[in-house]
Chain A
Amino acid sequence: MKFKIKFADQIVGLFILVALAFFVAIVVLIGANQRWFAKDYGFVTSFASAAGLAPGTSIMMKGFTVGKIDKLTLNANNTVDAEFHIFDTYYEKVREYSILELTVSPIGLGSQLLFHPGRSEVRLSEGAFIPTAASPEGQTLIEQELVEIPPKDDTITRLLANVNPLLENTNKTVVTVNRTLTEVNRALAGQSTGPLGDIVTDASAAAGDVRARVGGLLDQVSSLLSELETISANLVATTDSIRDPTGLVPRLLDPSGSIKTFLDDDDALYKKVMSIVGEVDRSMKSLQGIISGLNSEMPKVAGLLNETRTAIQQAQDVLEGVRNNPLIRGGVTERVQQESLYRAMREGSFE
Chain B
Amino acid sequence: MIATLGRSARLKAASLLYSLGFFYNVLKETARFFSKSQVGYKVLILQILFTGYEALAINAIMAIAIGAAINVIGSSLLPQFGQSQLMYSILIIVITRELGPLLTAFVITARSGTAIATQLGTMVVNHEIEAYIAVGLNPISYLVVPRFIGVVVSMLVLTIYFNIFGLLGSFIVVQVIKPTPILEYLGALMSTLTVGDVASGLTKALVFGIVVSVVATYQGFSVNRASTEIPVAGIRAVGLSFILIIVADVLLTLVQYA
Q: Which residues of A contact B (CB under 8 A)?
A: 4-5, 8-9, 11-12, 15-16, 19-20, 22-23, 26-27, 29-30, 32-34, 109
Dominant secondary structure at the B interface: helix
Determine the chain B residues whose CB is within 8 A of the CB of A27 once the complex forms. 195, 198
For chain B, the bracket of interface size reads 20 to 34
Of B2-10, B135-143, B158-166, the segment with at least 4 beta carbons within 8 Å of chain A is B158-166
Dominant secondary structure at the A interface: helix
- Asked whether B52 lies within 8 Å of A12 as measured between CB atoms, the reply is yes
- Asked whether A23 lies within 8 Å of B160 as measured between CB atoms, the reply is yes
Give bound CA distance, A33 to B92, whole Å: 16
B223 within 8 Å of A (CB atoms) = no
Give bound CA distance, A33 to B188, whole Å: 9
Determine the chain A residues whose CB is within 8 A of the CB of B163 once the complex forms. 22, 26
Q: Which of A8, A19, A109 contacts B46 (CB 8 A)?
A: A8
- Asked whether B49 lies within 8 Å of A19 as measured between CB atoms, the reply is no
Give bound CA distance, A29 to B187, whole Å: 9
**For A4, A5, A15, A20, which residue has the most chain B Cβ atoms within 10 angstroms?**
A15
10 closest A-B pairs by CB? A33-B190, A19-B160, A19-B157, A33-B191, A29-B190, A12-B48, A15-B53, A8-B49, A8-B45, A23-B160
Determine the chain A residues whose CB is within 8 A of the CB of B195 once the complex forms. 27, 30
Q: Which residues of B contact A (CB under 8 A)?
A: 45-46, 48-49, 52-53, 56, 82-83, 153, 156-157, 160-161, 163-164, 186-187, 190-191, 193-195, 198
A12 and B161 in contact (CB under 8 A), knowing A34-B191, A109-B82? Answer: no
- Asked whether B157 lies within 8 Å of A16 as measured between CB atoms, the reply is yes
Q: Which residue of B lies closest to A32 (CB)?
A: B190
Determine the chain A residues whose CB is within 8 A of the CB of B164 once the complex forms. 19, 22
- Asked whether B46 lies within 8 Å of A16 as measured between CB atoms, the reply is no
Q: Which residue of B lies closest to A14 (CB)?
A: B53
Inter-chain contact total with CB atoms closer than 8 Å: 58
- Asked whether B48 lies within 8 Å of A4 as measured between CB atoms, the reply is no
Identify 13 residue pairs between A and B in the complex whose beta-carbon atoms are under 8 Å apart, listed by A's number: A12-B45, A12-B49, A12-B52, A16-B153, A16-B157, A19-B164, A26-B190, A26-B198, A30-B190, A30-B194, A30-B198, A34-B191, A109-B82
A15 and B187 in contact (CB under 8 A), knowing A4-B49, A22-B164, A23-B160? Answer: no
- Asked whether B157 lies within 8 Å of A34 as measured between CB atoms, the reply is no
Determine the chain B residues whose CB is within 8 A of the CB of A33 once the complex forms. 187, 190-191
Determine the chain A residues whose CB is within 8 A of the CB of B198 once the complex forms. 23, 26-27, 30
17 further interface pairs, Cβ-Cβ under 8 Å (given A8-B45, A27-B198):
A5-B46, A5-B49, A8-B46, A11-B53, A12-B45, A12-B53, A15-B48, A15-B53, A19-B160, A19-B161, A19-B164, A20-B160, A29-B190, A30-B193, A33-B191, A34-B191, A109-B82
Q: Which residue of A lies closest to B187 (CB)?
A: A33
A16 and B48 in contact (CB under 8 A), knowing A22-B160, A30-B198? Answer: yes
Determine the chain A residues whose CB is within 8 A of the CB of B157 once the complex forms. 15-16, 19
Q: Which of B82, B153, B186 contacts A29 (CB 8 A)?
A: B186
Give bound CA distance, A26 to B156, whole Å: 15
Give bound CA distance, A15 to B46, whole Å: 12
Determine the chain A residues whose CB is within 8 A of the CB of B52 once the complex forms. 12, 15-16
Determine the chain A residues whose CB is within 8 A of the CB of B191 once the complex forms. 33-34
Determine the chain A residues whose CB is within 8 A of the CB of B45 once the complex forms. 8-9, 12
Determine the chain B residues whose CB is within 8 A of the CB of A20 once the complex forms. 160
Determine the chain B residues whose CB is within 8 A of the CB of A11 once the complex forms. 49, 53
Interchain nearest-CB distance for A66 vs B (Å): 14
- Asked whether A26 lies within 8 Å of B193 as measured between CB atoms, the reply is yes
Q: Which residue of A lies closest to B186 (CB)?
A: A29
Give bound CA distance, A23 to B191, whole Å: 16
A15 and B193 in contact (CB under 8 A), knowing A4-B49, A5-B46, A23-B160? Answer: no
Determine the chain B residues whose CB is within 8 A of the CB of A26 once the complex forms. 163, 190, 193, 198
Give bound CA distance, A50 to B13, whole Å: 51
Determine the chain B residues whose CB is within 8 A of the CB of A30 once the complex forms. 190, 193-195, 198
Q: Which residue of B lies closest to A25 (CB)?
A: B164
Determine the chain B residues whose CB is within 8 A of the CB of A23 once the complex forms. 160, 198
Q: Which residue of B lies closest to A26 (CB)?
A: B198
Interchain nearest-CB distance for A181 vs B (Å): 47
Interchain nearest-CB distance for A208 vs B (Å): 43
Q: Which residue of A lies closest to B192 (CB)?
A: A33
Determine the chain B residues whose CB is within 8 A of the CB of A29 once the complex forms. 186, 190
